[in-house]
Structure 1
């Protein structure tokens, strides 16, 4: 009997040890909830969660487990992108990519090549930015007609806040010179008053409502393509900034079948006609934290590049014009109230200083009437904030969800659009932190490239990839390496109510981590741009390995 008991104990002991995954010989760093950076060389994982981190002596505590050699690579917590558009990225990966276009003629050549390879249907693309062309004025439908005139073409500006349509697309949409600009939008016109082919913000819908919605199969494909791409960049979790009803259904279905490629914290689109239905269904959380739906994405204004950002003063390069509010304060307050009454956080897009002020006023009024102050409400972007309004973020417990790459992408354009007085609170990450406010960092992909190391580099240097301007643009707002990493990990997790589950490699949290070829803390900051992600793990399972 004793022999049987001993055999059982040995077997049970071996079974217990066999459940552990141990990776050693890594150069590991993790932020902690205590505000420090912990360094380690060994990590122990069980049931997808971190048991402990330690040094090589930790191996002696698990003699029955065969450790995995990390080969000296640097281990970091899985990076969290606090603002992206997952399905949009997936579609972009299969549509006409115009991100690096240098001129109208360059767009035209790419358009012709794409049209030949895709011979039927609407031609859709994204990524053009007229501010990087010479001349830097908006293009026209006629410019596109020179290259494709027999099929409808709709090309979205890099920021998503303007479209460029050819004459065929305008014809199919029934656009005439008598069309007036809708509230919250603008039809750019030629000198003779005819629509030029550029439609800003809510005017986009005049064209895009005629484009067939993607099928469930196409959304599934886009999700898989986006997931594969994001995992290869070291992103293990993303905050999806505005999903429609079809995507809401698909995400829950994929979560049920445990086939989501990465963690998603999804915001319901406030403009979706099924918003009430989605809100009434309640907050969605699943046991393995792959999907969380508990917030609503609201748009207050447009973007700076298309002069849709709502300003307190005039645009320097368009006197008498102050941008566009997509929602007036009364409707903003109604949407925020509806969100918080259902227990959902309100995450509101605001770029211009006027939009940020109106959104802060809206939150303040709603909190007095309906509550919701503790729901970790956010302002998405918070790019231009009047210095008087920055302290209000802390007072109202609003999280600025900001994208460091926007500063380095926009800096030259922002200097042309805005006076120096308007730039005092521009992309003010360090000022927010000094106020005691957490900054959740992201990229806003596919507006920007999704690579989080571009974002970390921009946050630390405030320079472009050629290290210009020397010392950084408005350098007082640069972040330290620790602050930048925390913004892309623990503070991003906090902004999704997940700081006790994600964002660091501490005991009891999901073992989401990446192995990279650069020492994040000791390498020269410019080496960040060369960082290669070798492996990406979620819940203790390897999801990506570099070929």
Structure 2
């Protein structure tokens, strides 16, 4: 993988040494079917692209006349798009997922346990067996798995397996023992230890209860972080993602990113959100905003955690779950702690990106933003609600009124369509996955995938946003299709609106003069084909700052 030399500057109190920037030659691409948005968000086509020093010079018809010497590349009529920006993902989580047992395709708890056993047999040197991706909603019985199912295969080593949404974990008895979890262990605030009828832990831990196991796991080694970054970056570049927003990094990951940036070894642009739960949050805020000179790292936001997820019934609802009348979800951050958290982040001049999936969590977050703005200001920082998945209908218009960006993930809707109505009932679906309603209210709509919760391919997200269908094109008429976006609106969500949500629209998100030449060549024209085929789009080449960083095998020459 190509490494990018770039310097790092801190816009605060921290001065960091770095490698010099790499000199760029001029590049001229001709015979291309190019698309971008202009600064007003209108779709624009072009047939040639001139780049100098890693930035766009021109897409005009006479672009070649502006620089005498350039490396001329014939695009052979291929479609060229700005690099895709994923507005909500987890870089090192993706890398970890690519390197451990992946349970996404398991058809039952028994099949998942066998997959874990096979992985453990092939990895006898691993102290812990870890994995991710199980989803009981895709299994015939739709029941949570148990430690006993894992114990049938592995008893000598601890096993810890994250649910697909990362809001629940599945442990074997060895892991429960190491964590000291027994029938007498109380539920932590904002978490739940699932127990059987006799009061014994079953092996599934929800939200904040996961920390009981994770606190006794060995710390990830620096070399493992590097492996995770490399694996995730290669995967993202192959899927056309040139920039991602990392939704919640620890102090250790913060330091890791800065080190990689200084060495010029961040292959993908990263807009990182500091985890509000990190004990060193105040110290990182005190360091101020940090931005790489060539924009491969930008840290000026904090990710806070409001509630859990819908699939594990951890999303906090105003009324009980339709399929579990005794449950209303979990608040991971307690409402009485909101004012102090909001004040701390906003007073430091940082953007606050608040995870809220259920309508109660969204309502409380909007209320707190409104109160904090009235008392202390800070509206200009482009604060966000991450997911904004289920919103009370009366709260939908408040996003635009308060200028709170709803950062949403289209494939969540197509993944959740088989269970969301069961959880919520039809009445609450009016404010669920309401992309078009929110966009029409006058607020930008940054889009992402939440990888590795969902697959990282942005064309899956574009397809879901436009069709409201899964990749089998079901349901035929689309799921609550009145909330579907146009192709241009969805494209904007993965480009310009995502850049705006990172305070980076002046340097990326479109292929307009002066911005970084981050772009991809793909095998079909997403604006001309039938929307049902958008998800099949293949990336042929990926370029960042005017340099090619990925080529598909058939396009490598």
Into which bin does the TM-score normalised by the smaller protein fall? over 0.9
Listed one character per residue, the Cα deviations across residues 270-325 of structure 1 (whole Å, up to 9, x for unaligned) are: 11111111111111012111110000000000000000000011111101211111
How far apart are the structure 2 equivalents of 1:287 and 1:61?
26
Deviation at 1:63?
5.1
Deviation at 1:373?
1.2
Listed one character per residue, the Cα deviations across residues 455-500 of structure 1 (whole Å, up to 9, x for unaligned) are: 0000000001111111210011000000000000000000011111
Deviation at 1:105?
1.6
Deviation at 1:328?
1.7
Q: Secondary structure at the match of 2:379?
A: coil
Normalised by the size of structure 2, how large is the TM-score?
0.93
Listed one character per residue, the Cα deviations across residues 349-405 of structure 1 (whole Å, up to 9, x for unaligned) are: 000000000011111111122221110000000000011001111111100000000
Correspondence for 2:106? 101
Which residue among 214, 220, 232 is the counterpart of 1:214?
Answer: 220
The answer on 1:411 being equivalent to 2:422 is no
Correspondence for 1:510? 516
How far apart are the structure 1 equivalents of 2:432 and 2:537?
28
Correspondence for 1:86? 91
Which residue among 250, 257, 260 is the counterpart of 1:254?
Answer: 260
Listed one character per residue, the Cα deviations across residues 222-273 of structure 1 (whole Å, up to 9, x for unaligned) are: 1111111101100000000000111100111111122111100000001111
Query: Given that residues 303 and 352 in structure 2 are in contact (C-alpha distance below 8 angstroms), is that contact kept between their aligned partners in structure 1?
Result: yes
Larger radius of gyration: 1
Q: Secondary structure at the match of 2:418?
A: helix
The answer on 1:494 being equivalent to 2:500 is yes
How far apart are the structure 2 equivalents of 1:423 and 1:172?
42
| CA distance 1:191–1:76, change in 2 (3 Å) | same
Q: Secondary structure at the match of 1:463?
A: coil
How far apart are the structure 2 equivalents of 1:60 and 1:418?
60
The answer on 1:114 being equivalent to 2:111 is no
| CA distance 1:346–1:64, change in 2 (3 Å) | closer
How far apart are the structure 2 equivalents of 1:504 and 1:27?
15
Correspondence for 1:379? 385
How far apart are the structure 1 equivalents of 2:380 and 2:146?
47
Listed one character per residue, the Cα deviations across residues 110-167 of structure 1 (whole Å, up to 9, x for unaligned) are: 1111010111411101000001101001111111111212211111100000001111
How far apart are the structure 2 equivalents of 1:102 and 1:346?
38
Deviation at 1:62?
4.4
CA RMSD of aligned residues (A): 1.1
The answer on 1:199 being equivalent to 2:213 is no
Correspondence for 2:329? 323
Query: Given that residues 34 and 79 in structure 2 are in contact (C-alpha distance below 8 angstroms), is that contact kept between their aligned partners in structure 1?
Result: yes
Deviation at 1:77?
0.3
Correspondence for 2:171? 165
Choose 111-120 or 193-202, whichever is displaced more.
111-120
How far apart are the structure 1 equivalents of 2:353 and 2:321?
26
Correspondence for 1:470? 476
Q: Secondary structure at the match of 2:274?
A: strand
| CA distance 1:502–1:185, change in 2 (3 Å) | same
How far apart are the structure 1 equivalents of 2:326 and 2:67?
71
How far apart are the structure 2 equivalents of 1:65 and 1:529?
34
Listed one character per residue, the Cα deviations across residues 399-431 of structure 1 (whole Å, up to 9, x for unaligned) are: 000000000000111021111111111110000
Which residue among 291, 300, 306 is the counterpart of 1:300?
Answer: 306
Which residue among 71, 76, 83 is the counterpart of 1:71?
Answer: 76
Choose 442-451 or 27-36, whichever is displaced more.
27-36
Q: Secondary structure at the match of 1:515?
A: strand
Gaps of 5+ in 1: 1-17
How far apart are the structure 1 equivalents of 2:416 and 2:506?
34
Which residue among 243, 266, 275 is the counterpart of 2:272?
Answer: 266
Deviation at 1:173?
1.1
How far apart are the structure 2 equivalents of 1:414 and 1:379?
20
Correspondence for 2:143? 137
Correspondence for 2:187? 181
Which residue among 362, 366, 369 is the counterpart of 2:375?
Answer: 369
Equivalenced residues, count? 529
How far apart are the structure 1 equivalents of 2:270 and 2:69?
35
Correspondence for 1:232? 238
Correspondence for 1:445? 451
Query: Given that residues 356 and 382 in structure 1 are in contact (C-alpha distance below 8 angstroms), is that contact kept between their aligned partners in structure 2?
Result: yes
Normalised by the size of structure 1, how large is the TM-score?
0.95
Gaps of 5+ in 2: 1-23
How far apart are the structure 1 equivalents of 2:180 and 2:41?
58
How far apart are the structure 2 equivalents of 1:331 and 1:21?
52
Q: Secondary structure at the match of 2:371?
A: helix
